[in-house]
């Protein structure tokens, strides 16, 4: 776990005192869940889940977690922190994969889990208004009862918050169908670093009256404010959903299958996910379950269709599978026959991140690359790891496997290196090699997970100086005092000079 020995805390930020804690208790009330008082040493264990990230890679030393119950409370907290120069970090479900949701030093964690009410749903338009701290799966369950669907789905749905999803501009498993949150979010309510409440919680699709400022908060990772409420356009839920899982012998064939799927399944295609054979072998080692297909294949794809006519959709999917089988584009395939099988097939894709962490940790590179070259990165990094003698089955080898999977439909690859422990020798092979590889192909070094603490120093591989300069100006406008330290969230851009 990284505890930042190379970073120096900016001493212009205040240290937490009993007086501060007393103020927060007054604002949040004395109900136990409102404030976890970490000022005493015996509360350390309670604070651990808030200090450590999902990958067990990044760890802070926060001594106070605040759980506001309303927008007004968030506002009072931020205003006070701004005045007293207390650094904070917003936290949703803490499932982020770049270390952005945990403190670096002793920032106060502002955890949004108590703000979890669904406020309204318009059955005619499909617009939903809910608190930022609602859990994605809970919101989607609510929408299912109304015949609608949340326009985002991802493996962390049982824990992540919709506010966290917006803050990271999460992409997920059905972006190919429902598009990015930049398109589906209708409005937000946010509290700015000085405590100002920005109410842009419209429920209408169109509003061309000036700059669309809510867009700045989508993907800002909490650096310019805390999102407190979300208004979002939710599509009709499809009554017929089918899932097929198939094996292919090369990445060339994966591309052919993708082209055929787009042309033959067109409007009913709702997901096209890629898994390499190596990732599936590791999942099987952890779960020891029966794999969906009998033989091993170098690549697998999961296709989902969502439509309104089950028979028609199924016939279309079967005709597609027959066609790609006849043309020898796919080697083998299976179509889920019921809900249980459908969930089981999805679990071979959605379960990858958790299974890869089984041995100790995972180095994650979430990248966008022009689709033709997408998988070359996995081959190149695997070769370098082998060459360095780091991959193997014994404890002497830090690396268990180098695998690739991701959202084929969005040219978004997840290069993952599953390790027994986080180790410098592995990092030296990976960085800056991976970033240079991506930059040469004008790709993105962070396609959907954000910068956090993990990638902020490498923004220059994907953005030019003028763009980064503008980002700094925006940060300065919203959070001027924070320009020289870590005020609200992780000052991703400004603190880079402190990093190695």
- The residues binding ligand FAD (CB under 6 A) are 54, 89-97, 100-101, 112, 132, 154-156, 160-161, 163-165, 167-168, 170-173, 221-222, 226-227, 353-354, 448-449, 452, 489
State the binding partner of 461 from ligand FAD, ligand MLT, none, CB within 5 to 8 A by kind: none
State the binding partner of 414 from ligand MLT, ligand FAD, none, CB within 5 to 8 A by kind: ligand MLT
State the binding partner of 357 from ligand MLT, ligand FAD, none, CB within 5 to 8 A by kind: none
Q: By C-beta, is 101 or 279 nearer to ligand FAD?
A: 101
Shortest approach of ligand MLT to residue 352 CB, angstroms? 6
State the binding partner of 193 from ligand FAD, ligand MLT, none, CB within 5 to 8 A by kind: none
Site for ligand MLT in 147-176 (CB under 6 A): 155
Does 401 engage in binding with ligand MLT (CB under 6 A)?
no
Q: By C-beta, is 448 or 479 nearer to ligand FAD?
A: 448
**Which residue number has the CB closest to ligand MLT?**
353
State the binding partner of 95 from ligand MLT, ligand FAD, none, CB within 5 to 8 A by kind: ligand FAD
CA dihedral 450, 456, 461, 467 (to 10 degrees): 80
Shortest approach of ligand MLT to residue 102 CB, angstroms? 17
**Residue 154: partners with Cβ closer than 8 Å, 6 or more residues away:** 136, 160, 165, 170, 171, 172, 173
| The one among 148, 316, 414, 492 contacting ligand MLT by CB under 6 A | 414
- Number of residues near ligand MLT (by CB under 6 A): 7
Q: By C-beta, is 353 or 398 nearer to ligand FAD?
A: 353
Q: By C-beta, is 70 or 264 nearer to ligand FAD?
A: 70
Spell out the SS3 assignment of the chain: CECCCCCCCCCCCCCCCHHHHHHHHHHHCCCCCCEEECCCHHHHHHHHHHHECCCCCEECCCCEEECCCCHHHHHHHHHHHHHHCCCEEEECCCCCCCCCCCCCCCCEEEECCCCCCEEEECCCCCEEEEECCCEHHHHHHHHHHCCECCCCCCCCCCCCEHHHHHHHCCCCCCHHHHCCHHHHEEEEEEECCCCCEEEECCCCCCCCCCCCCHHHHCCCCCCCCEEEEEEEECCECCCEEEEEEEEECCHHHHHHHHHHHHHHHHHHEEEEEEEEHHHHHHHHHHHCCCCCCCCCCCEEEEEEEEECCHHHHHHHHHHHHHHHHHCCCCCEEEECCCHHHHHHHHHHHHCHHHHHHHHCEEEEEEEECCHHHCCHHHHHHHHHHHHCCCECCCCCCCEEEEEEEEEHHHCEEEEEEEECCCCHHHHHHHCCHHHHHHHHCCCECCCCCCCCCCCHHHHHHCCCHHHHHHHHHHHHHHCHHHHHCCCECCCCCHHHHHCC
Shortest approach of ligand MLT to residue 366 CB, angstroms? 5
Q: By C-beta, is 139 or 324 nearer to ligand FAD?
A: 139
Residues linked to residue 299 through DSSP beta bridges, in sequence order = 248, 276
Shortest approach of ligand MLT to residue 450 CB, angstroms? 11
Shortest approach of ligand FAD to residue 476 CB, angstroms? 18
Q: By C-beta, is 163 or 292 nearer to ligand FAD?
A: 163
State the binding partner of 168 from ligand FAD, ligand MLT, none, CB within 5 to 8 A by kind: ligand FAD
Q: Which residue has the tokens 């907290």?
A: 77
| 119: nearest Cα among 200, 199, 201 | 201
Does 187 engage in binding with ligand MLT (CB under 6 A)?
no
Instruction: Check if the beta carbon of residue 111 is closer than 8 Å to that of residue 161.
Output: no
Q: By C-beta, is 356 or 390 nearer to ligand FAD?
A: 356
Q: By C-beta, is 105 or 348 nearer to ligand MLT?
A: 348
Q: By C-beta, is 93 or 155 nearer to ligand MLT?
A: 155
Q: By C-beta, is 38 or 90 nearer to ligand FAD?
A: 90
Site for ligand MLT in 323-352 (CB under 6 A): 352
Q: By C-beta, is 55 or 330 nearer to ligand MLT?
A: 55
State the binding partner of 404 from ligand FAD, ligand MLT, none, CB within 5 to 8 A by kind: none
**Which residue number has the CB closest to ligand FAD?**
164
| The one among 366, 410, 479, 494 contacting ligand MLT by CB under 6 A | 366
Q: What are phi and psi of 263, to 5 degrees?
A: -80, -35
Instruction: Check if the beta carbon of residue 111 is closer than 8 Å to that of residue 69.
Output: no
State the binding partner of 226 from ligand FAD, ligand MLT, none, CB within 5 to 8 A by kind: ligand FAD
Q: How far apart are CA 100 and CA 340, in angstroms?
A: 35
Shortest approach of ligand MLT to residue 207 CB, angstroms? 31
Does 93 engage in binding with ligand MLT (CB under 6 A)?
no
| 77: nearest Cα among 297, 219, 228 | 228
Shortest approach of ligand FAD to residue 307 CB, angstroms? 23
State the binding partner of 99 from ligand FAD, ligand MLT, none, CB within 5 to 8 A by kind: none
What residue ranges bind ligand MLT (CB under 6 A)? 155, 352-353, 364, 366, 406, 414
């Amino acid at each position: 776990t990284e505890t930042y020995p190379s970073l120096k805390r900016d001493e212009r930020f205040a240290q937490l005192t009993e007086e501060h804690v007393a103020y927060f208790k007054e604002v949040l009330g004395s109900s136990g869940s409102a404030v976890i008082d970490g000022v005493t040493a015996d509360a350390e264990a309670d604070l651990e889940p808030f200090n450590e990230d999902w990958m067990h890679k990044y760890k802070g030393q926060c001594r106070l977690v605040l759980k506001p119950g309303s927008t007004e409370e968030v506002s009072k907290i931020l205003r006070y922190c701004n005045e007293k120069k207390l650094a904070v970090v917003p936290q949703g479900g803490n499932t982020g994969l770049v270390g952005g949701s945990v403190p670096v030093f002793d920032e106060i964690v502002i955890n949004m889990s108590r703000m979890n009410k669904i406020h309204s749903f318009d059955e005619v338009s499909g617009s939903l208004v809910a608190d930022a701290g609602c859990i994605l799966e809970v919101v989607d369950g609510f929408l299912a009862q109304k015949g609608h669907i949340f326009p985002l789905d991802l493996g962390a749905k049982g824990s992540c918050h919709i506010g966290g999803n917006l803050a990271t501009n999460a992409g997920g498993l059905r972006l190919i169908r429902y598009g990015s949150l930049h398109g589906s979010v209708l409005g937000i309510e946010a509290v700015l670093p000085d405590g100002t409440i920005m109410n842009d919680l419209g429920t209408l699709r169109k509003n061309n009256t000036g700059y669309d400022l809510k867009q700045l908060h989508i993907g800002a990772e909490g650096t310019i404010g805390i999102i407190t409420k979300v208004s979002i356009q939710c599509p009709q839920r499809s009554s017929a959903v089918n899932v097929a899982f198939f094996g292919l012998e090369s990445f060339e064939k994966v591309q052919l299958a993708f082209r055929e799927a787009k042309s033959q399944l067109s409007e009913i295609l709702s997901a096209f996910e890629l898994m390499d054979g190596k990732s599936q072998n590791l999942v099987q080692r952890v779960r020891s379950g029966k794999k969906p297909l009998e033989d091993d294949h170098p690549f697998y794809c999961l296709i989902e269709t969502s439509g309104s006519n089950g028979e028609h959709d199924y016939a279309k999917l079967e005709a597609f599978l027959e066609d790609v089988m006849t043309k020898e584009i796919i080697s083998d395939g299976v179509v889920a026959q019921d809900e249980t099988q459908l969930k089981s097939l999805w679990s071979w894709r959605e379960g990858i991140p958790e299974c890869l962490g089984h041995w100790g940790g995972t180095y994650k590179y979430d990248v966008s690359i022009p689709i033709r070259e997408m998988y070359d990165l996995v081959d190149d990094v695997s070769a370098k790891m082998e060459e360095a003698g780091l991959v193997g089955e014994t404890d002497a080898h830090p690396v268990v496997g180098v695998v690739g999977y991701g959202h084929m439909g969005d040219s978004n690859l997840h290069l993952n290196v599953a390790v027994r422990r986080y180790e410098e020798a592995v990092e030296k092979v990976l960085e800056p090699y991976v970033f240079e590889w991506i930059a040469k192909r004008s790709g993105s070094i962070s396609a959907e997970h954000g910068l956090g603490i993990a990638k902020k120093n490498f923004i220059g591989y994907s953005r030019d100086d003028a763009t980064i300069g503008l980002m700094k100006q925006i940060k300065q406008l919203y959070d001027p005092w924070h320009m020289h330290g870590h005020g609200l969230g992780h000052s991703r851009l400004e603190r880079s000079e402190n990093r190695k």
